[in-house]
Amino acid sequence: MKRSHWSIPYVVFMAIFVVLPLVLILVYAFQDGNGHFTFSNITRFFSDSDALGTFAVSIEVAIENTLICILLGYPAAWILANRELNRSAVTIILFIMPMWINALMRTLATAELFNMLGITLGKGTLLFGMVYDYLPFMIYPIYNVLAKMDKSYAEAAQDLGATPWKVFWKVTVPLSMPGVSSGVLMVFMPTVSTFAISEFLTNNKIKLFGTIIQENINSSMWNYGAALALIMLIIIGVTSLFSDERKEAEGALI
């Protein structure tokens, strides 16, 4: 038996549990309750002001969250990767660790903290909670790229007359873009698609797109739920065209 045949069990497994389910989303999205072909699920979304509003809010929150994560996370990643400024492996571990803890648990802890401090739950707390949840996912891939970056690039730039500031903007930042783009992928889509988290952080005032999907599926509106999932899949397809490095970043977690 050829060694490449060892992949067969997994290929079969993926066909059933990865490919077929995605096909089913497509199938259900274009069916009505009786299994007949229809576009109505898709058109319904575009006339459903509630869903459209949630969609817009989700994208808005996701963009804001992503930007804040980059602004806070990039300097942190840069400091962590810089041997002169940070030698301790412990701080790196401390930044990675929250990624390993159940997001729901962390969210509830945050919400409870806000409650105790007497802060009203709303858009502000939602953003804070989201940044809190996703910042490590931005820092880690950027840190990874920066830490592996060959020092001689920066040295070559200095040798050619660049000031440290210029070196940072003209060499370090462009070379670390793969890290930033995988960070964006790890922050943006999950923000749009989370459910439960936004309810806890806003006391049910703000819903995100993931929640709408969940509500429809849970109330047995599978076809409309599938159509909403399909819309999200299309957005994912578009965003992952810009970068396919999320897997590398996640694969390198250990």
Subset of 49-68 contacting another protein (CB under 8 A) = none
d(CA 217, CA 108): 24
Per-residue CA distances from 8 to 15, 16, 243 (Å): 10, 13, 28
- Show the 3-state SS of 105-117: HHHHHHHHHHHHH
* Total residues at interface with another protein (CB under 8 A): 86
Q: Which residues pair with 37 in a beta bridge?
A: 31
Residues 184 to 203: which contact another protein by CB under 8 A? 185, 189-190, 192-196, 200
Tell me which of 56, 101, 119, 156 binds another protein, using CB under 8 A: 101
Nearest distance, CB of residue 93 and another protein, angstroms: 5
Between 74 and 160, CB nearer to another protein: 74
Q: Note whether 238 binds another protein by CB under 8 A.
A: no
d(CA 135, CA 17): 31
d(CA 125, CA 237): 30
Main-chain phi, psi angles of 84, to 5 degrees: -75, -30
Residues 76 to 95: which contact another protein by CB under 8 A? 76, 79-80, 82, 84-86, 89-95
User: The tokens 């930044």 sit on which residue?
Assistant: 95
Q: Is residue 229 within 8 Å of 25, Cβ to Cβ? A: yes
Q: Note whether 226 binds another protein by CB under 8 A.
A: yes
Q: Note whether 241 binds another protein by CB under 8 A.
A: no
d(CA 206, CA 204): 6
Tell me which of 71, 113, 177, 234 binds another protein, using CB under 8 A: 113
Q: Note whether 30 binds another protein by CB under 8 A.
A: no
- Contact window for another protein (CB under 8 A) among 23-31, 41-49, 54-62, 150-158: 23-31
Q: Is residue 186 within 8 Å of 236, Cβ to Cβ? A: no
For every residue of 64-75, DSSP letters joined together read HHHHHHHHHHHH
Nearest distance, CB of residue 116 and another protein, angstroms: 3
Nearest distance, CB of residue 101 and another protein, angstroms: 6
Q: Note whether 43 binds another protein by CB under 8 A.
A: no
Tell me which of 42, 59, 96, 149 binds another protein, using CB under 8 A: 96
Tell me which of 52, 67, 71, 104 binds another protein, using CB under 8 A: 104
Between 3 and 160, CB nearer to another protein: 3
d(CA 8, CA 51): 41
Nearest distance, CB of residue 132 and another protein, angstroms: 6
